[in-house]
Amino acid sequence: MRPRRGSAAFAAWEDGSMAWKSVLREEDLPEGVMAGAEAGALRVVLCRHRGAVHAYEDHCPHAGGPLSHGNFTDGRLICPWHAWEFLCETGAWGANPAVGLRRLPVKIEQGRIWIDA
Ligand code: FES
């Protein structure tokens, strides 16, 4: 999808350095919902909590479980393999905030969610 002329994404698209990838329609990620998506070759998990969209690499730091196949409850992403819980807003593991998910920059433009990956 071509970015809107005059936007930052358009400038990056025009000079060939674009890293932003459109991954979902904004309406497909309402409050309290989690979704998996592809950002180029990278599998990502997105969640919306308290109105804000957050994105992370879809790879649990424990043993590589696909977080997008787990659950999303009370602002926490729950891994399907061994139930580690990560805060949607920070990606931090609930039991030890020093451990966390790899966060990816997100923006919403033209009704779509974009990830810098
Ligand atoms: S792989 Fe996610 S909790 Fe073990």
Residue 52 CA to residue 22 CA, distance in Å, equals 17
Q: Is residue 3 part of a domain?
A: no
φ and ψ of 60, to 5 deg: -70, 135
Q: Is residue 42 part of a domain?
A: yes
User: Could you tell me the CATH number of the domain that includes residue 49?
Assistant: 2.102.10.10
Q: Is residue 11 part of a domain?
A: no
Q: Is residue 57 part of a domain?
A: yes
Domain hosting residue 84, numbered range: 20-116
Q: Which atom of ligand 1 is nearest to the CA of 83?
A: 3
Average pLDDT over residues 76-92: 98
* pLDDT tens-digit map of 12-34: 555 554 599 999 999 999 999 99
Q: Is residue 1 part of a domain?
A: no
Q: Is residue 76 part of a domain?
A: yes
φ and ψ of 75, to 5 deg: 75, 15
Q: Is residue 8 part of a domain?
A: no
Residue 8 CA to ligand 1 center (angstroms) comes to: 37
pTM, two decimal places: 0.84
**Alpha helices of 1-117 — where are they, by DSSP H?**
8-15
Q: What's the total number of domains in the chain?
A: 1
Does residue 99 have a pLDDT over 60?
A: yes
